[in-house]
Chain A
C-alpha cells in the first residue's frame, strides 16, 4: 500500500489527513497519486504544492512505489 498524508490547507481542502492507496502495476509518479486523491479539486490546492516521499522533500515528478509514504502540503512557515 501507499500511505498518503495531507497537511494544513491541503488537509482542509481534501477533507482528510491520511489514507491508503493500493499501488499501481504501472510505474507511478507523485503527480499520479495527486490525480487519484484530488481529482477535480486539484485546482483548489495551494501553489506551489510541496511533496515529500518517506519524510524527504521530493517533487511531483518523483517516483512512488509500494510501501512509500507520500505527503502533500503547502509551503512551510516554521520558526
Chain B
C-alpha cells in the first residue's frame, strides 16, 4: 500500500502506471477535484488542513481494511493539502484486483471511509468570505 500526503499536483495515470501489480486484471481509480462553485458562491481557493500523523495512520487502516474485505492486490492513495484552486485535483484512490467487481467495490469503500474518517478539513475562500465545509462523522461514532 502506498499513501502520500503532499501539496503538489499529481498525474493519476502516471502514478498508476508506475506500479507493476502482479496478478491484476482490474484497476479502478477515483479522482476528486475542487468544485469551482458552492451554493452559488464562486470558489477562488480551497484550503485543506489535516492532522498529518493521524491522516497517515487512518488512511493506512482504511486501505488495509479494504484490501482484506475486497481482496485488493494493491492500494494507492494520494491526498493533497494546503491551498488549491478551482478544478484542481485533490485526491487519488487507485486499487488493483484480479477482477473488476472487487476493484470497483474496494475503491468505493476507501473513498467512502476516507470522507468520513480521515482528518482533513476544507475551507472555501470566495469573494464573499471564507466558509468551512460541513463535515462528516465516522459511522461508529454517530
Contacts and interface: CB of A to CB of B under 8 A. Distances in A.
Interface of A: 5, 7-9, 48, 50, 52, 55-57, 59, 71, 73-79
Interface stretch (B15-23, B95-103, B133-141): B133-141
Contacts, number: 87
B132 A78 contact: no
Interface of B: 32, 48-51, 53-54, 57-58, 79, 90-91, 111, 114-123, 132-138, 140-142
Nearest to A79: B115
Please indicate which of the listed interface residues A71, A75, A76, A78 has the most CB atoms of chain B within 10 Å of its own CB. Answer: A78
A25 B90 CA distance: 45
B135 A76 contact: yes
Contact of A7 (B115, B119, B133): B119
